[in-house]
C-alpha cells in the first residue's frame, strides 16, 4: 500500500482514479481548488462524495506552495490531475492556462522533490501532437501544415500534403511523433511534460505522463466553455436540441471511457513505485491512453442521439482554428509498459453515460 496525493482529485477523471487506487489499497489524499468553472456548486457535491468515501480532501490551489508542502510530505507518489482543461475560448484566458497548468505543475513538482516523493504520474493529453499521423502516397509520413482559415471557410477540412498538395491518409499516432501544440491548452500540456522530465532527472524519481485521448463517461462536466465534445452533445440533447457538429463530422478521434483511464493511472503508480522501476521505465515516460478504436465526432453525436431517442445531429460546417482534424492513438506502448488496455467499448460506455444523465435529470 502506498500513500498517494491526487491533485484535482475532486474532478471527473479524479473520481475514476480514486476508484482504481482504492482497488490497489492505496491511502489517498485529495488536493483540489474546487474552481468554480468546473464545480458550479462550489464543490458541494464533490466534497459530499469524498466525505462519504472517507477520503480526505484539502481545499488548496496547487500554486499555494506553503499549504501544499505539508500535504505532500510523507507521500510515496503524486498523481497530478489539477489543470485548466479544454481548448480554451480565446487569448483572453492564455495567462490563466499558463498559471494554472504550468506554474501549478512546477509548484507540485517542487513540493514532491522537497518531500522525497518517488513517483509522479501526470495527466497529459493527446493535444500535444497537434494533428495526428498522416501519410502521403508519394512522400510517406508527413506533418500537415497549419490550418488555413480560407480552406476551412470553403469547407476544405482535410489537410493536404505540404509538399505536393495530394490528399493524406490519417493513421494512428504513437509516442515518438513530434510534439506540435496548436492552441494554448496544448502548449501548456507540452510544458507540463517537460517539467516532469526535469523533475525525474534531478530527483532520480520516476515520472509518467499519460497522454489521454477523448475521455468520456459518467460525471463529465457539462455546460461550461471547457466541456468535452461528448458532454456538449449530451447537454444539447437534454434540452431537446439536436447536437451541433463542427466541420463535416468526419474528424477522427479516440473516445476512451473514464473508468479505463482511472485504471491506467493506478497501473502507472504501481509500476513507477516498483523496486525495479528503472528496468521498465525511463526517468520520464510518456504513454498514450486511448481505446485503440477509431471513431468520429459525428459518429459519437449519432450514437448519443440514438441512445436517448433525441433529434438527429446537425452538421454545421463551423470550425475552430485551434482544433485539429484527425488524432487517434496507438496505445500499444501502454500495454507493454503498464500491462494496461482499455476494456469498455463505446456502446457500453454511452449506456453508462446516458443512464447517469437520466438519473441526474430525473
Strands 140-141 and 244-245: unpaired
DSSP state of 178: P
| Residue range 6-17, pLDDT digits in tens | 999 999 999 999
| Residue range 287-306, pLDDT digits in tens | 999 999 999 999 999 999 99
Domain residue spans of the chain: 3-133+171-360
Distance CA(58)–CA(56), nearest Å, equals 7
SS3 84: coil
Whether the per-residue pLDDT at 335 is higher than 90: the answer is: yes
| Residue range 238-263, pLDDT digits in tens | 999 999 999 999 999 999 999 999 99
Under the banding of pLDDT at 50, 70 and 90, the label for residue 44 is confident
Mean pLDDT of the chain: 93
Distance CA(56)–CA(178), nearest Å, equals 39
Residue 223's pLDDT is: 63
Q: Which residues contact 26 (CB under 8 A, 6 or more apart)?
A: 1, 2, 3, 4, 266, 269
Helix (H) or strand (E) holding 289, with range, is strand 284-289
Under the banding of pLDDT at 50, 70 and 90, the label for residue 87 is low
For the ranges 211-225, 296-310, 316-330, the lowest mean pLDDT is seen at 211-225
Instruction: Give the burial class of 122: count Cβ atoms within 10 A of its Cβ; 0-12 exposed, 13-18 middle, 19 or more buried.
Output: buried
CA neighbor of 330 nearest in space, from 321, 341, 338 = 341
| Residue range 91-137, pLDDT digits in tens | 888 999 999 999 999 999 999 999 999 999 999 999 999 998 999 99
Topology of domain 3-133+171-360 in CATH is: Rossmann fold (3.40.50)
Residue found under cell 513505485: 273
Burial letters for 326-356: b for 16+ Cβ neighbours within 10 Å, e otherwise? Answer: bbbbbbebbeebbebebebebeebbebbbee
Whether the per-residue pLDDT at 86 is higher than 90: the answer is: no
Helix (H) or strand (E) holding 211, with range, is strand 206-212
For the ranges 39-43, 168-172, 323-327, the lowest mean pLDDT is seen at 39-43
Amino acid at each position: 500500500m502506498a500513500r498517494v496525493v491526487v491533485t484535482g482529485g475532486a474532478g471527473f477523471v479524479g473520481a475514476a482514479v480514486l476508484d482504481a487506487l482504492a482497488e490497489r489499497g492505496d491511502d489517498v489524499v485529495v488536493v483540489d481548488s474546487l474552481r468554480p468553472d468546473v464545480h458550479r456548486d462550489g464543490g458541494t457535491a464533490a466534497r459530499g462524495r469524498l466525505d462519504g468515501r472517507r477520503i480526505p480532501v484539502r481545499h488548496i490551489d496547487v500554486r499555494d506552495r506553503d499549504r501544499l508542502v505539508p500535504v505532500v510530505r510523507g507521500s510515496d507518489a503524486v498523481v497530478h490531475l489539477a489543470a485548466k482543461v479544454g481548448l480554451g475560448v480565446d487569448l483572453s484566458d492564455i495567462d490563466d492556462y499558463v498559471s494554472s497548468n504550468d506554474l501549478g505543475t512546477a509548484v507540485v513538482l517542487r513540493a514532491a522533490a522537497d518531500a522525497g516523493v518517488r513517483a509522479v504520474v501526470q495527466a497529459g493529453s493527446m493535444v500535444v501532437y497537434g494533428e495526428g499521423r498522416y501519410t502521403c502516397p508519394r512522400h510517406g509520413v508527413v506533418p500537415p501544415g497549419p490550418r488555413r482559415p480560407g480552406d476551412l471557410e470553403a469547407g476544405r477540412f482535410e489537410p493536404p500534403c505540404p509538399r505536393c498538395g495530394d490528399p493524406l491518409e490519417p493513421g494512428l499516432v504513437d509516442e515518438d511523433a513530434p510534439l506540435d501544440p496548436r492552441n494554448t491548452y496544448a502548449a501548456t500540456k507540452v510544458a507540463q511534460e517537460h517539467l516532469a522530465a526535469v523533475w525525474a532527472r534531478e530527483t532520480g524519481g520516476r515520472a509518467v505522463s499519460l497522454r489521454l485521448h477523448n475521455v468520456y463517461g459518467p460525471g463529465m462536466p457539462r455546460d461550461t466553455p471547457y466541456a468535452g465534445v461528448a458532454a456538449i452533445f449530451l447537454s444539447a440533447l437534454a434540452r431537446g436540441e439536436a447536437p451541433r457538429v463542427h466541420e463535416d463530422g468526419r474528424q477522427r478521434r479516440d473516445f476512451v471511457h473514464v473508468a479505463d483511464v482511472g485504471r491506467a493511472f493506478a497501473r502507472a503508480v504501481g509500476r513507477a513505485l516498483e523496486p525495479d522501476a528503472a528496468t521498465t521505465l525511463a526517468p520520464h515516460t510518456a504513454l498514450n491512453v486511448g481505446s485503440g478504436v477509431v471513431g468520429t465526432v459525428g459518429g459519437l453525436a449519432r450514437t448519443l442521439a440514438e441512445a436517448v431517442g433525441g433529434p438527429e445531429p446537425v452538421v454545421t460546417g463551423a470550425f475552430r482554428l485551434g482544433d485539429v482534424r484527425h488524432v487517434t492513438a496507438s496505445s500499444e506502448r501502454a500495454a507493454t509498459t503498464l500491462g494496461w488496455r482499455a476494456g469498455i467499448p463505446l456502446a457500453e460506455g454511452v449506456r453508462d453515460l446516458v443512464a447517469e444523465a437520466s438519473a441526474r435529470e430525473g
